[in-house]
Amino acid sequence: MTATACCDEIKTLTRRGVLGRGLAAGAAGALAGLVGEGLSTRLAFAAGAYTGDTLVVLSLRGGFDGLSAIAPIGDTDYYKARPTIAVPKSQIIGGNSMFGLHPALAPLLPMWKNGNLAAVHAVGQPNPTRSHFAAMEEMERAAAGTSVRSGWLDRMLGMTGATGPLAGVSLGNAMPARLLAGPTNDVSMASLDGFMLAGESAARPRAAALRAMYGSAPDQLAASALAADAALTATVSSRSATYTPENGAEYPKTPLGSALRDVARLIKAKSGLVAAAVDSGDWDMHEGLGTAVKGQRMYDNLAETATALAAFAADLGPSGMANVTLVTISEFGRRVAENASKGVDHGHGNAMLLMGGGVRGGTVYSAWPSLAPGALVDGDLAATTDYRSVIGELLQKRCGFGALTDVFPNVSPSSFGLANAR
């Protein structure tokens, strides 16, 4: 696949086709709540009684290069494979003798030192593919080898029994195609402040008209419309109030910064948020990835991401982050060897970041397979840990789950000890 073709594929996938794009201005104003194939058990929690962490899923679209972000500095083959773009040991921050954090992640270093930020390396998914479309589809479905069609975050929400109108929210213009697809209601919005019906005013009370129109309609017809109305009602106070981040937090003026700011607002408003999905793109670096200095593409992307995450953590403060777990996912990693354009092509094994008050951080968890030529899989870092098992351990430790069968079929949680149990 050419760089141009794969970039076109991403553009197609980073806009979620949801009901109401024409209905709501600046927001989807609609729900994923699609009729789909769910799993059998929805009774793990009593309705409305969810007491676990708010789970924030940050999708790094395009194929995140975990070998740059969390550099395997203790593996000599890393420097052989990337003579130009490898992160020099002298520029590494944090980490240990085997792994080190890219210097652009400096805004997150305090969290790393405080033990609230960790990484998991050499992760991947079953049946790897280098197609953005196929890899994203499977990453969000997360049910390899089954006929399940819903998204794993939809299944997770269904298992909690949370029924609030803002239990599941995706924020930002780039929305997950499948992650929240399924029978559980969730809301997609470009921004919290822009979440309203197009043309709504005192003279044209469209929300009231919508409510009246569907008030006595059968559930099959009314569910999504009434749930959207409930979400609109639930966000009125947040949208009408001026929001000032706390603890000196300064969000970058980027799509990710704005989305995380809104997630923090919903959490602090005690809106009943159980899971939030946020996207960050532009990680498909076939060329010009750059060296580990400011002004280079990877450096600047990592710096923007780290700044947004650090602002989110500061805004919530230690007490807020105590009940939040954030995890990053990406459809695949990059090839081990740099290419002639000083970039890296589609690969497999990757790194995930974990952040939160319950995370046992300050370290990199991995069953490292090495980057020796004989240990690679078609030139890629071998994935020794299923990304679903990482999330599964967090679901059990931080979200109160027991068996994972109904979220991740046929997957056992990792045993790294990634987080403290609530």
| Of 163 and 298, more confident | 298
Strand partners, 168: 275
250-279 pLDDT, tens digit each: 999 999 999 999 999 999 999 999 999 999
What is the average per-residue pLDDT within 297-318?
98
19-69 pLDDT, tens digit each: 332 333 333 333 333 333 333 333 444 445 899 999 999 999 999 999 999
Q: What pLDDT is recorded for position 386? A: 98
Share of the chain above pLDDT 70, in %: 87
Band of residue 210 on the pLDDT scale cut at 50, 70, 90:
confident
**Phi-psi label, residue 26: left if phi above 0, alpha if psi -120 to 50, beta otherwise:** left
What is the average per-residue pLDDT within 228-249?
90
Domains of the chain in start order, with CATH, are: 3-195+235-398 (3.40.720)
Distance (Å, rounded) from C-alpha 214 to C-alpha 145? 39
Of 115-119, 237-241, 316-320, least confident by mean pLDDT is 237-241
| Of 206 and 15, more confident | 206
- Tokens linked to 156: 């997770």
Q: What pLDDT is recorded for position 174? A: 65
pLDDT at 115 over 80: yes
Q: What pLDDT is recorded for position 30? A: 37
What is the average per-residue pLDDT within 217-231?
82
Band of residue 239 on the pLDDT scale cut at 50, 70, 90:
confident
Cα dist from 180 to 138, 152, 205, 329, whole Å: 13, 7, 30, 14
Q: What pLDDT is recorded for position 13? A: 34
What is the average per-residue pLDDT within 352-365?
98
Of 34-48, 92-106, 122-136, least confident by mean pLDDT is 34-48
- Tokens linked to 51: 């007491």
pTM listed for this prediction: 0.89
| Of 13 and 172, more confident | 172
H or E segment to which residue 351 belongs:
strand 350-356
Of 149-163, 209-223, 326-340, 379-393, least confident by mean pLDDT is 209-223
Q: What pLDDT is recorded for position 175? A: 61
Share of the chain above pLDDT 90, in %: 73
DSSP E strand boundaries for 22-153: 24-25, 30-31, 54-60, 70-71, 100-101, 117-124
DSSP E strand boundaries for 148-298: 168-171, 187-189, 196-197, 275-280
Band of residue 189 on the pLDDT scale cut at 50, 70, 90:
very high
Band of residue 402 on the pLDDT scale cut at 50, 70, 90:
very high
- Tokens linked to 129: 């593919």
Distance (Å, rounded) from C-alpha 31 to C-alpha 12? 20
pLDDT at 295 over 70: yes
What is the average per-residue pLDDT within 302-324?
98
